[in-house]
């Protein structure tokens, strides 16, 4: 198809008119958000500005109404950024994430909070918890499970000795690439650095393409990307953010063994999140070590037709809690049927802690 100059000019004129309209509307929306902030502060001087349930509702509504031709995810991402900028007008949001810069956790933080949030890398998962608990940041982002490699046990363990709540979740498709620096001798790669989980997620690909290269586990894939800058015979497995941050080239793209490889991250904070209409609840339950304990624990969920989305067992670190189960299920603690199940579970367990109810990840 060829555009005549006349057509192109008139189309661009139309685009300019539409941009004027979009500009006017976004500014009016931002004004509204500022007024929302005033209303919130008037009713409560210690008001919480970020409202995960409302954000989830806004994004779901946009996805439902989207007439195309942009796909719904793309459209929601645009609105994600508009809301992020509006929230920054109300109050700049500080978010700690498991660093260093360039990790998938940073990507998850940006996906969830948008580019207007101020994100700060932390060296370890418990540091993210500590920063949130100390009030040095508003929220934290930590990985919790990967579709190929399973649970991130460090995150679950951190909840056991913390008063932190879960305020949200975000799922990220994980694409790994084999990266080299411009000084790397590509046919002499004898060492591949990455996080142990990433090495495991690319095991078959490495067996097929670099069977003799030494696989070196390091603390994060961003750290792997940083290290190979000074080693001419080494490559790193990492994602797009790390590749961009360290100016590396992709020798091979999307080398993860499973194409549906994804990681779920949790947003942690101190607020109770009201119902959004499509929510999940996470609890941790301690049971006595006796036959049938797991059956007793799960039976009320089955009877009340509550969908379990995840069940994880962790060894207890105190003598009192023999078995500790992390359970995620559909529903919100403010729903009567969920409250009823929790009441029954409390009678059967030696300890129950509700980690939080939060909107099912939208993007």
Ligand X SMILES: O=C(O)C(=O)C[C@]1(C(=O)O)C=C[C@@H](O)C=C1
Name residues contacting ligand X, limited to 205-224 (CB under 6 A): none
Question: Closest CB to ligand X among 262 and 271?
Answer: 271
Stretch that binds ligand X, among 51-59, 116-124, 194-202, 320-328 (CB under 6 A): 51-59
CA 142 to chain CA centroid, nearest Å = 7
Please choose, from the candidates 244, 51, 103, the residue with its C-alpha nearest in 3D space to the C-alpha of residue 120. 103
Two tokens, residue 259: 């194409």
Question: Closest CB to ligand X among 58 and 160?
Answer: 58
Burial class (CB in 10 A: 0-12, 13-18, 19+), 9: exposed
Least gap, CB of 75 to ligand X (angstroms): 15
- Examine the residue annotation and report whether 79 is marked as an active-site residue of this protein: no
Two tokens, residue 216: 């070196």
Q: Considering CB under 6 A, how many residues would be counted as binding ligand X?
A: 12
Least gap, CB of 167 to ligand X (angstroms): 11
Least gap, CB of 258 to ligand X (angstroms): 34
Two tokens, residue 168: 């949200």
Burial class (CB in 10 A: 0-12, 13-18, 19+), 271: middle
Q: Is 53 in the site for ligand X (CB under 6 A)?
A: no
Beta strands (DSSP E) in 254-322 are 262-269, 279-287, 308-315
Question: Closest CB to ligand X among 55 and 169?
Answer: 55
Q: Is 36 in the site for ligand X (CB under 6 A)?
A: yes
Question: Closest CB to ligand X among 84 and 106?
Answer: 84
Q: Tell me which of 41, 47, 54, 127 binds ligand X, using CB under 6 A.
A: 54
Rounded to 5°, the CA angle 177-121-356 comes to: 100
Least gap, CB of 253 to ligand X (angstroms): 35
Catalytic residue selected from 263, 301, 325, 329: 263
Alpha helix segments (H runs only) across the chain: 5-43, 52-65, 72-90, 104-113, 125-134, 153-160, 196-201, 203-209, 221-227, 240-245, 293-303, 336-348
Binding pattern for the stretch 60-89 against ligand X, x by CB under 6 A and - elsewhere: -----------------------x--xx--
Least gap, CB of 56 to ligand X (angstroms): 9
β-strand partners of 356: 282
Question: Closest CB to ligand X among 90 and 169?
Answer: 90
Coil, helix or strand for 307?
coil
Two tokens, residue 213: 């290269």
Q: Tell me which of 62, 76, 88, 90 binds ligand X, using CB under 6 A.
A: 90
Stretch that binds ligand X, among 18-26, 48-56, 186-194, 202-210 (CB under 6 A): 48-56
Q: Is 58 in the site for ligand X (CB under 6 A)?
A: yes
| CA gap 131, 137 in Å, rounded | 6
- Examine the residue annotation and report whether 265 is marked as an active-site residue of this protein: yes
Q: Which residue is nearest to ligand X (CB)?
A: 86
Burial class (CB in 10 A: 0-12, 13-18, 19+), 42: exposed
Least gap, CB of 60 to ligand X (angstroms): 13
Least gap, CB of 141 to ligand X (angstroms): 16
| CA gap 304, 154 in Å, rounded | 31
> Nearest 10 degrees: CA dihedral of 207, 147, 122, 233?
10
Q: Does residue 243 contact residue 251 with C-beta atoms inside 8 Å?
A: no
β-strand partners of 16: none
Coil, helix or strand for 28?
helix
Catalytic residue selected from 159, 265, 301, 329: 265
Question: Closest CB to ligand X among 55 and 131?
Answer: 55
Question: Closest CB to ligand X among 79 and 323?
Answer: 79
Stretch that binds ligand X, among 50-58, 227-235, 322-330, 337-345 (CB under 6 A): 50-58
Binding site for ligand X (CB under 6 A): 33, 36, 49-51, 54-55, 58, 83, 86-87, 90
Instruction: Please list the active-site residues.
Output: 263, 265
């Amino acid at each position: 198809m060829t555009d005549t100059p006349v057509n192109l000019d008139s189309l661009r004129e139309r685009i300019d008119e539409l941009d004027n309209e979009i500009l006017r509307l976004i500014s009016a929306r931002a004004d509204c958000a500022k007024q929302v902030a005033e209303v919130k502060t008037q009713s409560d001087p210690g008001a919480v500005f970020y409202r995960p349930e409302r954000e989830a509702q806004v994004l779901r509504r946009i996805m439902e109404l989207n007439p195309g031709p942009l796909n719904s995810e793309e459209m929601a991402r645009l609105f994600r950024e508009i809301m992020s900028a509006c929230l920054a007008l109300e109050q700049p949001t500080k978010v700690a994430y498991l660093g260093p810069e360039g990790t998938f956790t940073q990507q998850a933080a940006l996906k969830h909070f948008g580019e207007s949030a101020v994100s700060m890398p932390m060296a370890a998962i418990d540091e993210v918890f500590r920063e949130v608990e100390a009030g040095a940041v508003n929220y934290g982002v930590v990985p919790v499970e990967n579709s190929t490699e399973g649970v991130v046990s460090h995150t679950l363990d951190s909840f056991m000795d913390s008063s932190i709540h879960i305020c949200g979740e975000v799922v990220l498709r994980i694409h790994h690439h084999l990266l080299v620096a411009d000084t790397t001798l590509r046919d002499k790669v004898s060492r591949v650095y990455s996080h142990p989980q990433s090495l495991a997620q690319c095991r078959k690909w490495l067996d097929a393409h670099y069977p003799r290269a030494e696989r070196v586990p390091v603390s994060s894939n961003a750290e792997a990307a940083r290290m190979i800058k000074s080693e001419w015979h080494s490559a790193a497995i990492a994602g797009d953010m790390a590749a961009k941050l360290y100016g590396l080239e992709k020798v091979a793209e999307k080398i993860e063994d499973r194409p549906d490889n994804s990681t779920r991250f949790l947003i942690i904070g101190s607020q109770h999140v009201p119902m959004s209409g499509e929510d999940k609840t996470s609890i941790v339950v301690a049971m006595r070590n006796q036959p049938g304990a797991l059956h007793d624990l799960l039976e009320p969920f089955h009877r009340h037709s509550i969908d379990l989305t995840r069940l994880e067992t962790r060894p207890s670190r105190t003598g009192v809690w023999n078995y500790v189960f992390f359970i995620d299920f559909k529903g919100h603690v403010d729903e009567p049927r969920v409250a009823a199940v929790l009441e029954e579970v409390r009678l059967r367990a030696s300890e129950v802690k509700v980690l939080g109810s939060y909107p099912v990840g939208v993007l």
